Structure 1
Amino acid sequence: MSISIDAEATGTVQATDPVRDLYADWSEIMATTPDLTMRLFRSIFDEWHQPTREPEAVSYKEDVVGGVPGIWAFPEGADRAKVLLYTHGGGFAVGSASSHRKLAGHVAKAVGVVTFVLDYRRAPEHPHPAQVEDGVAAFKALVDSGIHPHDITTVGDSAGGNLAIAIALALKEQGEPQPGQVIVFSPWLDMENKGETLITNDATDALISVPLLEGMIAGVLGDSVSPQNPLANPLYADFSGFPRLYITAGSVESLVDNATRLNALAEAAGVDVTLSIAEGQQHVYPFSAGNSEPADAELARIAGWYKY
């Protein structure tokens, strides 16, 4: 099933966009400071939480699951027998459980379950498949703790959306039970930069550029991993038997065709898949949860899908 959300028709056009404004600031910093160290680069992207309003009635706890550190989000009254395993975005190199804590809390609160946000190993210090291995280890540890695999949903944004998919694919490859559902926000899957919207949406995307992606691809894949490896680039994966899938992206972002291509592959494989494209929205626009109607409306749609 595919759906397209027309913001103009539903009266959700924003005069201001906190996500776009943050991205524009980052882009200016990167353009004017070409010699950024990785430490400073990561510090900048740890501001990702700024457009997100703190979700009410959600508590947090640092923990280690399957040898992987991270942060739990516990919405008040949530079903603790069901878990969202959240993998953050950031090109596999930046972003953290801290930068994504509030967004993950909003998602967990919307669907009424708990979430664990992974601080997986990051590139370039830890290239592929370290990130996938960490996600699989955390998933298996949740199962070992008594959580039924079907009650675990892998969730992620951007590169974390790639990981949310790759974790399920890796589990299938290992003959292990897969998660019950997968939810991805603006997934970044194409490790070859072949997407048409990298060109057509270059002027409207406030953050993503080909040079930025090229640097992140080099960091995570290096010289030894093929950009066509299905666990690195799920656009080459076999989606037969894949879990129920929800995909969302913004219409003006450069990676929107990663979402549409993923949807087409999943549909062709017979997956129960829903695609939501939000008109006029940026990369991982749900980051403005609590501060924008389009983000809040999308979380409500995801909650309805999850509970269906």
Structure 2
Amino acid sequence: MARALRQRADMWRGHISAAIAAAIRKGRVAWLVAGLVTALLPVTARAWDPPPQTQASKQQIHKLVETWGQYFQKADSLRDRRQAFEELMESTPEPTRIQIRSVDAGGIDAQLIWPARLHHPLGRRAILYVHGGGFYSGSLRTHRAIAGALAKAASADVLLIDYRLAPDNPYPAQIDDTLAAYRWLLDSGYEADNIVLVGESAGANLAIEATLRQMRVKEPLPAAVVAMSPISDLAATGASLTANAGTDPVINAAQLDLIRKAYLGTRSPTDPMVSPLYADLTGFPPLLIQVGEGEALLDDSRRLADKARAAGVDVEIEIWPGMIHEWQIFPFWLDDARQSNQRVAEYAIRHFADKPQP
């Protein structure tokens, strides 16, 4: 135990020394002082628990489940489900008080989204948003609302990417596109310590795997990663797939099997390069995981958090009462989605080297 504590102290001394050197080199002494004060606060002072589920929240999630069922009741194949998801999201409100510019992000179609109160994008802070949809669905339209919400709440530019989809484009096209977009941000002038990767469901998987690939080639890592309702285990070994099968209409074991075949083909689902749960997370950036208590993939998040913590990663996990898979992408219908989006924005701000001005 004493040896482990000494090793951990040595590790933190190394981190702090590196941070001091980088801050002095970049003239960020004020940022350094603020960051060290925050880091030295007791863990309990930064603890946060999701709010208890209210009756209004229960009614809202019930309505979402009903609406989901109306669009997906006859969608059996992946292509049918892709179309149903597009139609569902087409029925939702477009985000307001944002500006949008279409960009070619390293060969990837994308939209750069920023708050209307700011005059132009390409500022100091960026969130790379990687949408979910089981690797086979999702688009710029389906996730523009959450991207816009994060841009406003974090006072940051959000790069929303339209990566290639399975089954026409199986692994590793989606990770290649995510990494290309991240490197485009770096080439466009954003510094790595001002970029946060955020994704939900399959997008969370891609955000984590793209970061792991950056680690393997020893290239600059993002300031932090946020994984919302992540698919971390394509082998589908989590007990919650069965335990929560009756509470989560969005994903189940049979659908995960279809997803795995379309995305991976014959590749092993326990390959660390496709399932983060089996990867070595040592040295991974700070990680926030959000998951719903009623999700079929609840155990994907719990086990990923345990794996990250054991590897020494600064990881936080939030388990939201009563929420289902991907509830975060519905801020126009769910109070909990708006609150969870705000939490993600606050987490990003906490880890940006350059904080937004009040």
Three-state SS of the structure 2 residue aligned to 1:297 is helix
The answer to which of 297-306 and 280-289 deviates more is: 297-306
Q: In 1, distance between residues paired with 2:210 and 2:236?
A: 22
Q: In 2, distance between residues paired with 1:54 and 1:140?
A: 28
| Alignment partner of 1:15 is 2:55 | no
Instruction: Report if aligned partners of 1:49, 1:103 keep a CA contact under 8 Å in 2.
Output: no
The aligned runs of 1:1-308 (5 Å cut-off) are 3-8=48-53, 13-17=57-61, 18-30=63-75, 34=76, 36=77, 38=79, 40-47=80-87, 49=89, 53-77=93-117, 80-223=123-266, 225-308=267-350
Q: CA deviation at 1:229?
A: 1.5
Output the amino acid matched with 1:245: L
From the superposition, tell whether residues 57 and 263 of structure 1 become closer, same or farther in structure 2 (CA, over 3 Å). same
Output the amino acid matched with 1:73: I
Bigger Cα Rg: 2
Instruction: Report if aligned partners of 1:26, 1:207 keep a CA contact under 8 Å in 2.
Output: no
Q: In 2, distance between residues paired with 1:297 and 1:118?
A: 24
The superposition leaves residues 120-166 of structure 1 with CA deviations (integer Å, 9 ceiling, x where unpaired) of: 11111111111111111111111111110111111111000100111
Mark the runs of 5 or more structure 2 residues left unpaired by the alignment: 1-42, 351-358
Q: In 1, distance between residues paired with 2:91 and 2:233?
A: 26
Q: In 2, distance between residues paired with 1:154 and 1:209?
A: 26
Output the amino acid matched with 2:66: D
Q: CA RMSD in A?
A: 2.0
Three-state SS of the structure 1 residue aligned to 2:59 is coil
Q: CA deviation at 1:304?
A: 2.6
The superposition leaves residues 70-97 of structure 1 with CA deviations (integer Å, 9 ceiling, x where unpaired) of: 2221112457221111111111111112
Q: In 2, distance between residues paired with 1:37 and 1:290?
A: 26
Mark the runs of 5 or more structure 1 residues left unpaired by the alignment: none
Output the amino acid matched with 2:112: W
The answer to which of 291-300 and 87-96 deviates more is: 291-300
Instruction: Report if aligned partners of 1:158, 1:186 keep a CA contact under 8 Å in 2.
Output: yes
Output the amino acid matched with 1:265: K
Q: CA deviation at 1:118?
A: 1.1
TM-score, length-normalised on structure 2? 0.79
Question: Which has a greater percent of helix?
Answer: 2
Three-state SS of the structure 2 residue aligned to 1:286 is helix
Output the amino acid matched with 1:254: A
The superposition leaves residues 250-269 of structure 1 with CA deviations (integer Å, 9 ceiling, x where unpaired) of: 11110111111111111111
Three-state SS of the structure 2 residue aligned to 1:168 is helix
From the superposition, tell whether residues 259 and 51 of structure 1 become closer, same or farther in structure 2 (CA, over 3 Å). farther
Higher normalized contact order (CA 8 Å, seq sep 6+, divided by chain length): 1
Instruction: Report if aligned partners of 1:52, 1:289 keep a CA contact under 8 Å in 2.
Output: no
Q: In 1, distance between residues paired with 2:117 and 2:344?
A: 19
Q: In 2, distance between residues paired with 1:47 and 1:276?
A: 30
Output the amino acid matched with 1:20: V
Q: In 2, distance between residues paired with 1:180 and 1:20?
A: 35
Q: In 2, distance between residues paired with 1:3 and 1:51?
A: 34
Instruction: Report if aligned partners of 2:251, 2:296 keep a CA contact under 8 Å in 1.
Output: yes
Three-state SS of the structure 1 residue aligned to 2:236 is coil
Output the amino acid matched with 1:24: G
Question: Which has a greater percent of strand?
Answer: 1
**Equivalent residues, number:** 301
The answer to which of 50-59 and 211-220 deviates more is: 50-59
From the superposition, tell whether residues 11 and 258 of structure 1 become closer, same or farther in structure 2 (CA, over 3 Å). same
From the superposition, tell whether residues 3 and 222 of structure 1 become closer, same or farther in structure 2 (CA, over 3 Å). farther
Q: CA deviation at 1:12?
A: 6.0
TM-score, length-normalised on structure 1? 0.91
Q: In 2, distance between residues paired with 1:264 and 1:52?
A: 36
Output the amino acid matched with 1:141: W
Instruction: Report if aligned partners of 1:53, 1:291 keep a CA contact under 8 Å in 2.
Output: no
The answer to which of 70-79 and 107-116 deviates more is: 70-79
From the superposition, tell whether residues 303 and 228 of structure 1 become closer, same or farther in structure 2 (CA, over 3 Å). same
Q: In 2, distance between residues paired with 1:173 and 1:60?
A: 33
Q: In 1, distance between residues paired with 2:250 and 2:82?
A: 15
Q: In 1, distance between residues paired with 2:191 and 2:88?
A: 32
